[in-house]
Chain A
């Protein structure tokens, strides 16, 4: 299902196919990403979340189809895209100072805003490989932020940060979203960390978009019912047995259902909503 957008679009993915060896990850895949929104891409392990980010970043090449950036991104779209993957791919034998120097020369930057690094105890003479995963993440994020990207692609790295650095990064993200009209696409396993900033949820299944909704709409549309009597007349997304009590995830939920339901109706947070969908996949 592809949502209709009234606002400006940033990325349009059309008829995209990508396969790894002989297995198709995406076949005739379509998606639109609106401008200046924080989107969370989710789905079961191996569904192609990280692959999608890599395709948008240009580090993987699609077999067919196209990724269109609706805003003018200059001669090379990668100049306006910041991408950080869970692999934390960098030249790890360089010192932090050398990595900054390298990044500045590639992006032709006169100045480098290292404000995020100042929150850490990183010595610029340290080699990147000697830093902790969290410190490497901060260095990489700072490198990316310094280029003032229009699109930011973050793949499961926020998890590696301690509570303080997580707060610093999320504050910086919010600042960039407000000031620079940044579009963010995230893949994250810990939804609790990022729920305050996520605006849209894109759930992938079998190389297709299963859900593409604003998080507020999704919270209205997905509910959990605790009941011993199966609500057979409702669209059950998935079910689980919790402490000998049955729980049913309903999607799409309609307010009219309240009149007919026996049991407790529970509002859900993002973690519960996604586990409702993913639980359905594993069931």
Chain B
């Protein structure tokens, strides 16, 4: 099964890497108009965009084939526990993401690198946890974008609250706010995702998504209240 999932993950990587085609174009444009781009800058930007697109697409595509090919019934008839199923799908995707993170690190080695890597992992986990609910790739991109927006605002609000409380270590405050904000969003999503998967069977998927209504939705509402109140 791992072999099949690695092949699926590599297919997603190829799709995400289409952005690499922009490199020669950007270099030609630079030669013609001399806009001041150097090769390192181009590679840095392209690797970053590739990593973000791969993180979102690989998470979204976790159950895409089963949904598209109506293969859940076959999958659930196989002697595979739900945790093994999940890890067989997660492991190849995460391994390729790790390689991409290393590449991003090589081309973006600066003060912002840890935060950048954190954002990529956030996008990967958010799309992974949303994958069961996803009906269209474009809608899911909007959902992930919205989640990222809520994460970013919440993170800034927590940071402001921490500063107001007199915490002087800026770096520590930044990380507390980032991790806190991510945890508020990802933990309920992860629980809903695991709960759904654990209890799922071959019935139509749309009637099995109730955990998403009862766990992450109230959490997001609470966050919105916090954002408005803080």
Contact = CB atoms under 8 A, between A and B. Distances in A.
Interface of A: 20-21, 54, 57-61, 76, 78-79, 81, 83, 85, 87, 89-94, 98, 101-102, 105-107, 129
Nearest to B69: A92
Contacts of A79: 79
A81 B76 CA distance: 12
A58 B76 CA distance: 7
Interface in B66-93: 69-74, 76-81
A231 B76 CA distance: 51
B224 to A, nearest CB: 31
B25 interface: no
Given A21-B207, A89-B70, A89-B71, A78 B78 contact: yes
Contact of A101 (B3, B74, B207): B3
Contacts of A61: 199, 201
Nearest to B2: A105
A166 to B, nearest CB: 23
B72 A89 contact: yes
Contacts of B207: 21
B183 to A, nearest CB: 31
A91 B79 contact: no
A96 to B, nearest CB: 14
B71 A59 contact: no
Contact of B70 (A54, A78, A83, A87): A87
A90 B74 contact: yes
A247 B122 CA distance: 71
A89 B66 CA distance: 9
Contacts of A21: 207
A54 B4 contact: no
Contact of B79 (A54, A78, A90, A98): A78
Contacts of A20: 203
B69 A59 contact: no
B3 A83 contact: no
A91 B203 contact: no
Contacts, number: 63
Given A61-B201, A89-B72, 8 more contacts: A60-B201, A78-B78, A89-B71, A89-B77, A90-B69, A101-B3, A105-B2, A106-B78
A107 B1 contact: no
A43 to B, nearest CB: 20
Q: Name the interface size band of chain B.
A: 20 to 34
17 contacts: A57-B77, A58-B76, A59-B202, A60-B203, A83-B77, A89-B70, A89-B77, A91-B65, A91-B69, A92-B69, A92-B71, A93-B69, A102-B3, A102-B4, A105-B3, A106-B79, A129-B69
B4 A98 contact: yes
Contacts of A93: 65, 69
B31 to A, nearest CB: 42
B73 A89 contact: yes
A59 B3 contact: no
Contacts of A129: 69
**Most A C-beta atoms less than 10 A away, residue of B1, B4, B72:** B4
Nearest to A77: B79
Nearest to A55: B201
A116 to B, nearest CB: 18
Nearest to B70: A89
A83 B79 CA distance: 12
A78 B80 CA distance: 8
Given A20-B203, A91-B65, A59 B80 contact: no
B70 to A, nearest CB: 6
Contacts of A105: 1-3
B40 to A, nearest CB: 39
Contacts of B199: 61
A61 B77 CA distance: 12
B1 A60 contact: no
Contact of B73 (A78, A81, A87, A98): A87
A87 B75 CA distance: 13
Given A81-B77, A91-B65, A93-B65, A106 B203 contact: no
